[in-house]
Amino acid sequence: MNYLAHLYLSDQTPDGFAGSLLGDFVSGNVAGKFNGRVEKEITMHRKIDFFTDTNQTVKRSKARISAKLNRFAGVLIDVFYDHYLAVDFEKYAGVSLKVFTDKAYRALQKHGDLFPDAFRQRIPAIIETDLLGSYRSLDGIRIALDRISSRIKRENSLPEGIFDLENNYRELKTDFEEFFPELVAFVQTARND
């Protein structure tokens, strides 16, 4: 899952929001490196990624990606699923995407010091451009793919993934609508263990 889904699946506290994204930036044992809530959300992030990577519906979505972009299928599906979540956010969250993203942005500002420099420096632009809210539109996804592509060291054609989204829009949406409730249920169970 990408940023929006991880934030949504967090405990939605400021520490939880930070931890839900830190899972992409820290490795190894995090015990004692952050406060308990942040550490718990980093661990949850890892569980979410494992559940997602091993899920059959997600594998079906990845198979819809063109052969040329196959090595980026996981990245593309993460971003595409964030698009579908953004489009129907209120259905899943019970609040508007704007209300939610404003809360998440405040948490990122508050906890920016926890992130590596490269991400910390991007936080103002993430907020200013409403990156999370931009996922609702195909133009927003196109821009997100351009940005991700620019951060990959080797030359790539990741931005062309927008065509995979457009060409498989309904099928990928059906996959997301099947998968996401399973993921939410998994997270709820994992939090209660």
pLDDT at 1: 62
HSE-up of residue 22 (Cα within 13 Å, Cβ side): 31
Tally of domains in the chain:
1
Residue range of the domain that includes 9: 3-192
Residue with tokens 């972009």: 69
pTM over 0.85? The answer is yes
**Cβ atoms of 94 and 14 closer than 8 Å:** no
Most distant pair of Cα atoms in the chain: their distance: 46
Q: Would you write out the chain's pLDDT as a tens digit for each of its 193 residues? A: 689 999 999 999 999 999 999 888 888 888 888 888 889 999 999 999 999 999 999 999 999 999 999 999 999 999 999 999 999 999 999 999 999 999 999 999 998 888 888 888 889 989 999 999 999 999 999 999 999 999 888 888 999 999 999 999 999 999 999 999 999 999 999 988 7
pLDDT at 115: 87
Angle at 147 between CA 114 and CA 66, to 5 degrees: 120
pLDDT at 82: 97
pLDDT at 145: 94
Alpha helices in 55-137 (DSSP H): 56-63, 73-87, 89-93, 97-110, 117-128, 131-134
Report which DSSP code applies to 191. H
